[in-house]
Amino acid sequence: MDSYGLFSSCKRGDISRVRYLVEEREMDLNVRDRWDSTPLYYACLCGYEELVQYLLDHGAKCEANTFDGERCMYGSLNDSIQRLLKDYKCITAKTMHPDYFDYFLHMILEQGQYSDVKFMVHGEIFPAHRCVLGARSEYFTMMFETKWKGKNLITLKHPLINPAAFGALLQYFYTGCMDINVSFIEDCILLAKQCKMEDLIDELQHKCKQVYEYVSNKPRICVKVLTLGPHNDQLEDNIIQLAVGALPAELRVGCGQLPFIRTDDYPTYPDIVFRVDGYNFLCHKVFFCGRSDYFKALLEDHFSEGEILTSQPNVPVLTLHNISYKVFISLLYYIYSDNTEIFPDNVLDLLYVADMYLLPGLKRMCGTTLAETICEDNVLQIWQTAKLFRLSRLEYQCKELMARNIERLVARAEFAEMIQEDARSVKNRQETDSIPLVDDIRYHITSNVQMFSAMEETHHKLQVLEQLLVSIGLEC
């Protein structure tokens, strides 16, 4: 329904609704409808220049010489929107929120940090990670265990292997996307055949046919770059196998209820072992350091605990304290997949470690779980938690519920204590200064008042709140 609302709002030019869906509901701006059209395309087609600017600023894809870019340019209602598209410089929501998982995968490919293998293709070097390539392709797993076993530099000399096509294949492995010049499509198909990737071959051929049919009747259009993806579901299913492989054998039962096709002895090439509650988790620095500045600082601090596992020689062991193995498993799944199961009985523990290990995305997920449990009985405790861990959206939701139930909340001593504590937190507060919590509750009480009966109820709620403030000596 959110997807339908985004498309319909772009067709109407309802920028406030689009802003709500993007910023509050976190909708993907590059979602497609059954006609393979994006929200940006409809905004251009209907001539909403302000909306087009907003979509571009928040991550809508419209690169020149791509199918989407040329389609938006061709369909623009007026010249001003065409000029806007031409002047647009690429900035995406992923660069604005660097904890996004797909952006993280893009960066570890681009930067090559913690790479354990390099490919040389006709003089061009491509750093990569065995764990990612092995998880994404059974062909690469076989080669790493046979012909390429123990090699850190692999030279590919075959004359039919094109460096641009090989780079595009790596991009597909890491991100589920592919951007490739149309002149190298056949080279990509050859590589995909060698790697036994039938799905990729079918998609390349389908996309080529789609672009050809579109441009054949539009002589002004010139598509030079073919774009595929993203395929987030398949990518997540593949990468999360690394998390399953990291689990100690005795903890794998009941974990990761996904249709995995790999066996228990599937090689994952770990380079760090985390010991939690006596269990050894075989992990990868590229994921933990790339996802968390805490782990990056920890693992780059040249630690040494002087222990080597018999099963994993030359792989250091690091013991983590103040975390249970059950919570670590939830953390592990988030690190490798950007998703994990959160329940009311583990959400606070997971929120604590997410804050400690500097994982803002996991904190937001915990906040969403807590928001589903808010009620009159626990709203004060959850608000305190939200404030402590700086979960602004959860704070907002708590204050909204407080406003709806203010008549009953004023009878609770802990509510008065919370207001007093919030007043003390205002530096150099004077007697007439406002109190943030009180101000926000007042705002929610008075917002959206449209009927006379509602005005009377609002006035009553404000009076109840004022009486509480007077009783505790905090008139403001």
Q: What is the mean pLDDT of residues 236-258?
A: 79
Task: Identify which of 81-95, 108-122, 226-240 has the greatest average pLDDT.
Answer: 108-122
Structure confidence at residue 231 (pLDDT): 64
Same domain flag for 263 and 223: no
- Residue 452: the pLDDT is 58
Tell me the pLDDT tens digit for each residue of 285-337: 999 999 999 999 888 875 555 567 777 778 889 999 989 999 999 999 999 99
**pLDDT of 469 higher than 80:** yes
Asked if 223 and 294 sit in the same domain, the reply is no
Say if 374 falls within a structural domain: no
Hey, what are 355's tokens? Answer: 């804050």
| 68, 137: one domain | no
Give the per-residue pLDDT at 306: 56
3-state SS track over 264-288 = CCCCCCCCEEEEECCEEEEECHHHH
- Provide the token pair at 260: 């995995």
Final residue of a structural domain among 64, 95, 126: 95
- Taking residues 439-457, what's their average pLDDT? 76
Q: Do residues 226 and 246 both lie within one domain?
A: no
Q: What is the CATH number of the domain that holds 297?
A: 3.30.710.10
Q: Classify residue 449: in a domain, yes or no.
A: yes
Cβ neighbours of residue 394 closer than 8 Å, sequence gap 6 or more: 367, 370, 371, 382, 385, 386
Residue type, 442: R
Residue 308, domain extent = 234-364
The CA radius of gyration of the chain, in Å to the nearest whole number, is 27
Number of independent structural domains in the chain: 4
- 377 domain-assigned: no
> Would you say residue 258 lies in a domain?
yes
Which one of 77, 95, 113 terminates a domain? Answer: 95
Do 257 and 144 have their domain in common? no
In the prediction, which pLDDT does 430 show? 53
What pLDDT is attached to residue 386?
A: 92
pLDDT recorded at residue 367:
93
Name every residue whose Cβ is closer than 8 Å to that of residue 275 and which is 6 or more positions away in sequence: 281, 317, 318, 319, 320
Same domain, 189 and 255: no
Task: Establish if 380 belongs to a structural domain.
Answer: no
Strands 117-121 and 124-128: antiparallel
Structure token digits, residue 435 = 């109190």
Q: Which tokens in the block code for residue 7?
A: 């498309």
Residue 383 belongs to a domain: no
193 and 276: one domain?
Answer: no
Domain boundary among 200, 230, 260: 230
Taking alpha carbons only, the member of 197, 198, 203 closest to residue 136 is 197
CA angle 321/325/331 to nearest 5° reads 90
Q: What Cα–Cα distance (Å) separates residue 266 from each residue in 36, 132, 258, 263, 457?
A: 38, 13, 16, 5, 64
Whether 130 and 199 map to the same domain: the answer is yes
Both 32 and 80 in one domain: the answer is yes
Average pLDDT over residues 263-283: 86
Does residue 378 sit within a domain?
no
Q: Same structural domain for residues 38 and 112? A: no
Residues 215 and 119 in one domain: yes
For residue 411, pLDDT beyond 80: yes
Confidence of residue 427 (pLDDT cuts 50, 70, 90): low
Tokens of 419: 């207001």
Residue 70 is assigned to a structural domain of this protein: yes
pTM greater than 0.85: no
- Specify the 3-state DSSP secondary structure of 109: helix
Same domain, yes or no: 359 and 241: yes
Q: Is there a contact between 174 and 106 (Cβ–Cβ < 8 Å)? A: yes
pLDDT digits (tens, 9 = 90+) for 183-225: 888 999 999 998 888 888 988 888 888 878 777 777 677 777 8
